Amino acid sequence: MFFGHNLTYINFFFFFLSLFSLSFNTHTQHTTQTTQTTQTTQTTHTLKNRFACDLIYTAVGDILIALNPYVRLPLYTPEKVYEYSHRGTRRLPPHIFDTASRTYMGMCEYKRDYSILVSGESGAGKTEATKQVLIYLSEVAGKVLVFGLHE
């Protein structure tokens, strides 16, 4: 099954996120490792449940976890682009378009450069995720330039 194949990557991913909270005190380190294992188990369980419902995106703070379903899901329609680009203050489910939208809004509002890091194993869907980000950005930025709403 696909999910079992990426389990190592997910465990590594959450281990990496938890590195910042590790202490060199041996008692604290043991407690941190136990907590980390529990958190990883809970997160893996949550990801499995969401994946079973075709919810391939899960947000953990500013980080978006995407699991490749290896099938086409109706997640990248023009209606979804519109929904995420016109959401206002509404909170929408985690999606690659949400990451692209927040990045674009940040660039426009703060006049700063932004980066989106797409990482994963071979076959994890990095190319597809990057393609969807570029589709979203070109659609949103293109409309803004065409209608003269942005310099």
Q: What is the pLDDT of residues 116-138, one digit of tens each?
A: 999 988 888 899 999 999 999 99
pTM beyond 0.85: no
Nearest to 18 by CA among 27, 10, 4, 95: 10
Which residues, given as ranges, of the chain have pLDDT below 70?
Answer: 1-37, 144-151
Quick one: pLDDT at residue 1? 36
Quick one: pLDDT at residue 113? 87
Quick one: pLDDT at residue 15? 38
* 68, 125 contact by CB (below 8 A): yes
Quick one: pLDDT at residue 43? 84
Q: Which domains does the chain have, with CATH numbers?
A: 1-53 (no CATH), 56-151 (3.40.850.10)
* 76, 132 contact by CB (below 8 A): yes
**DSSP, residue by residue, 1-24:** -HHHHTHHHHHHHHHHHHGGG--S
Quick one: pLDDT at residue 40? 79
Quick one: pLDDT at residue 82? 94
Quick one: pLDDT at residue 41? 84
Quick one: pLDDT at residue 98? 93
